[in-house]
Amino acid sequence: TSLLLMAGIMVAVGLCRRWTRRRLRYHRRLCTFLLEMFSTFQICACTNELCLLGNVEPKPHAALTLTYGFTVLHGLTLTGSTCNPCGTLQPMWGGGVSLKMGGLKIAAQFVAAALARAFMHFIWSLEMAEPHSGALSKGCSNPMQTTEMQAFCIELLFSVVFQLTVLRVESVNPKYKVHLIALLITMLVYAGGNLTGAIFNPALAFSLHANCFYDKFLSYSLVYWIAPSLGKSLILYVF
């Protein structure tokens, strides 16, 4: 049921993106906002559901396989979208995207994160699958299983590794590049998923752990917003 749900989300987002490109291609800002919002919604909604499947046997092989598979699917279906505020900083830094357009994309990403969270809460309330039972009563799932400073360093390091890899594989054939990126993300999740969740995406972190941001805003914004943004800024500065 969970796999069918995620597949349905991807099909619906694909149809919405196609409609947006056809009907709103002359309204540049609105088209950009909606495309980024739909794409980020897909990643956030699917990842929310994937988090519920983390305890599926055999552990952690099933969860890692699903992570790799859906990351590949996201890469193949969401071409042209960054879905990550940190990724939006690169064209803004290089002057390829104006400050206003970059801010519009980041706003779309956080709007999508909130919408995905609300949508998945509604789906979980229907209890269509066994993992959905009790999902709404968890509150803050507390992804930080280490000290705040260590969590900050882990998310910073993972962001640097991820963004550096993305820059280095830009010239690789797209059909191979998506698998390389998916493999890297799966490896990072395996390495640090039990410590911080290995998110390194501010919008996705907000969608997954919104309750934690309400309870401990300073700590979680430092680890899941400032750390990955700082990692991206360091890479851009060096390059």
Percent of residues, the chain, with pLDDT higher than 90:
63
Instruction: Select the more confidently predicted residue: 36 or 99.
Output: 36
Q: Between the ranges 50-54, 83-87, 94-98, 106-110, where is the mean pLDDT highest?
A: 106-110
Task: Region of 106 please: left (phi>0), alpha (psi -120 to 50) or beta.
Answer: alpha
pLDDT band at 13 (very low <50, low <70, confident <90, very high): very high
Task: Calculate the alpha carbon distances from 54 to 59, 70, 103, 194 in Å.
Answer: 8, 14, 33, 11
Residues, the chain, total? 239
Whether the per-residue pLDDT at 57 is higher than 80: the answer is no
Indicate the Cα dihedral angle 38, 115, 96, 168, nearest 10°: -80
Concatenating the DSSP letter of every residue in 190-212 gives HHHTTTT-----HHHHHHH-HHH
Structure tokens given for 9: 């989300």
pLDDT reading at 46 higher than 90: yes
Please report where in the chains the tokens 């968890």 appear, as a residue: 138
Mean pLDDT taken over the chain: 90
Residue 139, pLDDT score: 66
pLDDT value of residue 224: 95
Residue 103 has pLDDT above 90, yes or no: yes
109-125: per-residue pLDDT in tens?
999 999 999 999 999 99
Residue 141: pLDDT above 80? no
> What pLDDT was estimated at residue 130?
80
What digits encode the pLDDT tens for the residues 59-82? Answer: 888 889 999 999 999 999 999 899
pLDDT in tens, 178-212: 999 999 999 999 998 889 989 999 999 999 998 88
Closest by Cα among 99, 75, 238, 81 to 163? 238
Structure-model confidence comparison of residues 169 and 93, the more confident one: 169
- Is residue 138 pLDDT above 80, yes or no? no
What the chain holds in terms of domains, given with CATH numbers, is: 1-238 (1.20.1080.10)
> Are residues 71 and 186 in contact, defined by beta-carbon separation less than 8 angstroms?
yes
What's the pLDDT score for residue 114? 96
**Residue 122 has what pLDDT?**
94
Predicted pLDDT of residue 226: 95
Confidence at residue 7, expressed as pLDDT on a 0 to 100 scale: 95
